[in-house]
């Protein structure tokens, strides 16, 4: 895995050393950020189900002001920390790592608001809808939510005040973009 663009372009990230983690491919991350475009500069980003932290780190590389990483696995937290340190970054106010299940973290941090919420839940039939519903309280009026999911499972057309605006497929994966209804 590598950073696709921005300040850390071309820098490699450590990959997980255990089964069960499915990092977002470089190609899919590039597609995501090409669609989000320059709105990432200065944005507050939530990388839910963060795994390696590649999405949030890509956002930092492209000028995000603040990134919050959420993952329940202690190994993922260590991997995110290692990837940040490898780039000369540390967990600070601009880079927060929360070790918790996403649903729990969303409830406990509902007072926070993000400009971009990126969710990569497990590829199960209803996980995209559950993640979208949990993320709704973390969103402001101009927030965009992007859910990565298995392309074989259609994304919900709407949920918790969010409307599907676009879905982009790449192999077994898809990105669905939501905006306030």
23-67, pLDDT tens digit by residue? 677 788 889 999 998 899 999 999 999 988 999 999 999 999 999
Q: What Å distances lie between residue 131 and 4, 8, 34, 47, 159, CA to CA?
A: 26, 29, 23, 12, 10
| pLDDT score at 102 | 93
- Is residue 111 a part of any domain in this protein? yes
- Taking only the tens place, the pLDDT of each residue in 73-115 is 999 999 999 999 988 886 665 788 899 999 999 999 888 899 9
Domain limits for position 151: 26-180
Using left for φ > 0, alpha for ψ between -120 and 50, and beta otherwise, residue 51 falls in: left
- Is residue 170 a part of any domain in this protein? yes
- Taking only the tens place, the pLDDT of each residue in 112-155 is 899 999 999 887 778 888 899 999 889 888 899 999 998 998 88
Q: How confident is the model at residue 20 (pLDDT cuts 50, 70, 90)?
A: low
Q: Give the number of domains in the chain.
A: 1
- Is residue 141 a part of any domain in this protein? yes
- Is residue 21 a part of any domain in this protein? no
- Is residue 17 a part of any domain in this protein? no
- Is residue 4 a part of any domain in this protein? no
Asked whether the CA dihedral 57, 81, 142, 181 is positive or negative, the reply is positive
**CATH number, position 174:** 3.40.50.150
- Is residue 128 a part of any domain in this protein? yes
- Is residue 107 a part of any domain in this protein? yes
Q: Is the pLDDT of residue 21 over 70?
A: no
Residue 75 and residue 79: Cα distance in Å, rounded? 6
> Which run of H or of E encompasses 162?
strand 162-170
Nearest C-alpha neighbor of 57 from the set 38, 39, 40 = 40
Residue 166 and residue 175: Cα distance in Å, rounded? 8
Q: How many CB atoms lie within 10 A of CB 168?
A: 16
Higher pLDDT: 140 or 69? It is 69
Residue range 64-72: mean pLDDT, rounded: 94
Higher pLDDT: 84 or 19? It is 84
Residue 50 and residue 167: Cα distance in Å, rounded? 20
| pLDDT score at 1 | 81
């Amino acid at each position: 895995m590598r950073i696709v663009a921005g300040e850390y372009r071309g820098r490699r990230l450590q990959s997980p050393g255990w089964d069960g983690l499915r990092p977002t491919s470089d190609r899919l991350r590039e597609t995501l950020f090409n669609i989000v475009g320059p709105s990432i500069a200065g944005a507050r980003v939530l990388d839910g189900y963060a795994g390696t932290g590649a999405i949030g780190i890509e956002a930092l590389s492209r000028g995000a002001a603040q990134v919050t990483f959420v993952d329940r696995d202690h190994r993922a937290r260590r991997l995110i920390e290692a990837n940040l340190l490898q780039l000369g970054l540390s967990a600070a106010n601009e880079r927060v790592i929360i070790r918790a299940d996403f649903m729990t973290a969303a409830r406990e941090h509902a007072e926070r608001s993000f400009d971009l919420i990126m969710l990569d839940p497990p590829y199960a039939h209803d996980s995209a809808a559950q993640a979208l519903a949990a993320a709704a309280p973390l969103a402001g009026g101009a927030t965009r939510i992007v859910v990565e999911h298995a392309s074989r499972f259609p994304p919900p057309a709407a949920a918790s005040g969010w409307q599907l605006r676009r879905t982009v497929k790449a192999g077994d994966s898809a990105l669905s973009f939501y905006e306030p209804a």
